[in-house]
Amino acid sequence: MSKPKTMLTKIWEAHVVAEESGCPSILYIDLHLLHEVTSPQAFAGLRSRGMAVRRPEKTVATMDHSIPTDGRPRSALPAEAAAQLRRLEENCRDFGIELYGWDSPKQGIVHVIVPELGLTQPGMTIVCGDSHTSTHGAFGALAFGIGTSEVEHVLATQCLLQSKPHSFEVRIEGRLPAGVTAKDVILALIAEIGVGGAEGHVFEYTGSTIRGLDMEARMTICNMSIEAGARAGMIAPDDTTFDYLAGREHAPKGEAWEMALEAWRRLPGDEGAEHERSVTLDASQLAPMITYGTNPGLAMPITQSIPDPVKVGQPSHRAALTSALDYMGLAPGQKLLGHKVDVVFIGSCTNGRISDLRQAARVLRDRKVAPGVRALVVPGSQIVMRQAEAEGLDRIFQESGAEWRQPGCSMCIAMNGDSLRPGEYAVSTSNRNFEGRQGKGGRTFLASPLTAAAAAVAGEITDVRKMLS
């Protein structure tokens, strides 16, 4: 009997092309995703070496980071953004890469469109010049973010030099209480282990709670693995995974589907396989979570009070908390319930899928966005947008007074003109509350779509559980 293997080890070993002693492995990449921001310098490198893209058919591109979401014509774009989008079009044309671009009915945030097109499949290695590539791990793929030099490596060789990360099991057991979602689970995990807590590791999420989640909720959890410092996050594929994939545009069909299923069922870790680290969370004890600081690890149950830096043991942590509260304009011991909100942002690769919009609509139906609050609902893709419109969610949002916008990264990264003004407070379903992330001087509270929609209605941070009865 060979030693039991984790899912990470199985996928890793299946993709090692070569290894030299004392050197990292040469790892084959099955799917390479591109967007406008982190690819231009990589293509420039290829051009200067006179090289082609090795496997253009294993590469797909979209426009998401700097694309406007207010329906403005292309002629109204800022010159720099327009030039970057044009450069992506030229590069994809010259190197033979499929681009879901400006006019494509399949355009959207890269981590939303690739799974919905059935391109993300169990057992794959997937990379993108974007840290939230961890999203795709929800399908039992090894998916991680890379820098632009590595984008160039993959374009040129379809491979990366990588050392095998350690496996970190996150076991989540129990039934989620009403009003508590996948976003609350991942915020609770990051709060528990810290923003750098999983460096050098890949999370494998296991347990009854994870098994009970649909694919979109699983993607929300894997998406934010990077916010705990993990290289990637993954979930073993099961019938939920296969049901999601069946019939999607790029999923295998017919006999190929049956063969794929057989291979995918062998992917989960062997009984007794050992992880280097592990942690367990009791989902039944969780409450809706919200961040109060300037990194995703500074999060707490929404009913609690902000911790006091004086009571934090480690000096560097104390300093970080003090400076975060200073930036946020918050005081130790303060409750966030009742704190005023200027903007609510519902969208992003974390929470911009149809189930997220349905949850927001559940709260906004027959209610009004509070006076003085600007609420933006940004679908993650054209496909999500059309689905939402077919279900009438757009009307629910608009009747409540929220803005129904075009797909893109939007105010998650504030590169496209959708941004906070200095000093504004936002409740956001995105993934990062770093200083200035949503606009210079803007202040972000990260939360679930339910909590964000509740804040839009109340005009202040509120406990959504009271609105759901």
Partner 1 sequence: MRVTPLRAFDTLTSRLVLLPIDDVDTDQIIPARFLTALERDGLGKYLFADWRSMPDGSPNLKFVLDRPEVKGASILLAGANFGCGSSREHAVWALMDWGVRAVVAISFADIFRGNALKNGLLTVELEAEAHTELLRVARKDPLIELTIDLPAQVVILPNGRKFGFPIDPFDKRCLLEGIDTLGYLLSFSAEISAYERRCEQA
Least distance in angstroms from the C-beta of 212 to partner 1: 30
Q: Does 130 bind partner 1 (CB under 8 A)?
A: yes
Report the Cα 254 to chain-centroid distance in Å.
31
CA distance 313 to 293: 17
Q: Does 317 bind partner 1 (CB under 8 A)?
A: yes
| Closer residue to partner 1 in complex, CB, 115/442 | 442
CA distance 165 to 185: 23
C-alpha torsion angle, residues 443, 338, 287, 297 (rounded to 10):
20
Q: With CB under 8 A as the contact rule, which of the stretches 128-136, 284-292, 299-307, 350-358 interacts with partner 1? A: 128-136
CA distance 85 to 78: 11
| Closer residue to partner 1 in complex, CB, 397/425 | 425
Instruction: Name the residue among 226, 142, 282 with its Cα closest to residue 431.
Output: 226
Candidates 4, 17, 94, 258: give the one binding partner 1 (CB under 8 A): 17
41-49 long-range contacts (CB < 8 A, ≥24 apart) are 41/148, 41/152, 42/129, 42/148, 42/149, 42/151, 42/152, 42/155, 43/87, 43/91, 43/95, 43/152, 43/155, 45/149, 45/152, 46/95, 46/152, 46/155, 46/156, 49/156
Candidates 24, 96, 105, 329: give the one binding partner 1 (CB under 8 A): 24
Q: With CB under 8 A as the contact rule, which of the stretches 109-117, 143-151, 354-362, 448-456 interacts with partner 1? A: 143-151
| Closer residue to partner 1 in complex, CB, 345/404 | 345
| Closer residue to partner 1 in complex, CB, 136/465 | 136
Binding mask 376-415 for partner 1 (x = CB under 8 A): -------------------------------------xxx
Quote the longest CA-to-CA distance of the chain. 67
Q: With CB under 8 A as the contact rule, which of the stretches 226-234, 247-255, 300-308, 385-393 interacts with partner 1? A: 226-234
| Closer residue to partner 1 in complex, CB, 301/441 | 441
Q: Does 18 bind partner 1 (CB under 8 A)?
A: yes
Q: Does 131 bind partner 1 (CB under 8 A)?
A: yes
43-82 positions binding partner 1, by CB under 8 A: 44-45, 48, 54, 65-66, 78, 80-81
Least distance in angstroms from the C-beta of 111 to partner 1: 13
Instruction: Identify whether the C-beta of residue 322 lies closer than 8 Å to the C-beta of residue 307.
Output: no
H helices of 127-178, where?
148-157
Write the DSSP assignment of 453-467 as a string of letters. HHHHHHSB---GGGG
Q: Does 199 bind partner 1 (CB under 8 A)?
A: yes
Q: How many CB atoms lie within 10 A of CB 7?
A: 26
Candidates 52, 74, 96, 149: give the one binding partner 1 (CB under 8 A): 149
Q: Does 23 bind partner 1 (CB under 8 A)?
A: yes
Least distance in angstroms from the C-beta of 246 to partner 1: 22
Write the DSSP assignment of 259-319 as a string of letters. HHHHHHHT-SPPTTPPPSEEEEEEGGG---EEE-SSSTTSEEETTSBPPPGGG-SSHHHHH
| Closer residue to partner 1 in complex, CB, 229/307 | 229
Q: Does 231 bind partner 1 (CB under 8 A)?
A: yes
| Closer residue to partner 1 in complex, CB, 123/179 | 123
CA distance 28 to 12: 9
Candidates 436, 459, 460, 467: give the one binding partner 1 (CB under 8 A): 436
Q: Say how many residues make up the chain.
A: 469
Least distance in angstroms from the C-beta of 409 to partner 1: 9
| Closer residue to partner 1 in complex, CB, 164/395 | 164
Terminal Cα-to-Cα distance of the chain (whole angstroms): 54
Instruction: Identify whether the C-beta of residue 188 lies closer than 8 Å to the C-beta of residue 170.
Output: no
Residues β-bridged to residue 127: 32, 144
Q: With CB under 8 A as the contact rule, which of the stretches 158-166, 203-211, 333-341, 445-453 interacts with partner 1? A: 158-166
Q: Does 432 bind partner 1 (CB under 8 A)?
A: yes
Report the Cα 253 to chain-centroid distance in Å.
28
| Closer residue to partner 1 in complex, CB, 159/454 | 159
Token readout for 358 is 């349905």
How many residues contact partner 1, by CB under 8 A? 67
For residue 154, the SS3 value is: helix
CA distance 67 to 412: 12
Q: Does 159 bind partner 1 (CB under 8 A)?
A: yes
Q: Which residues bind partner 1 (CB under 8 A)?
A: 17-18, 22-24, 26, 28, 37-38, 40-41, 44-45, 48, 54, 65-66, 78, 80-81, 83-84, 87, 129-131, 145-150, 152-153, 156-161, 163, 165, 195-196, 199-200, 226, 229, 231, 295, 297, 316-317, 319-320, 323, 413-415, 422, 432, 434-437, 440-441
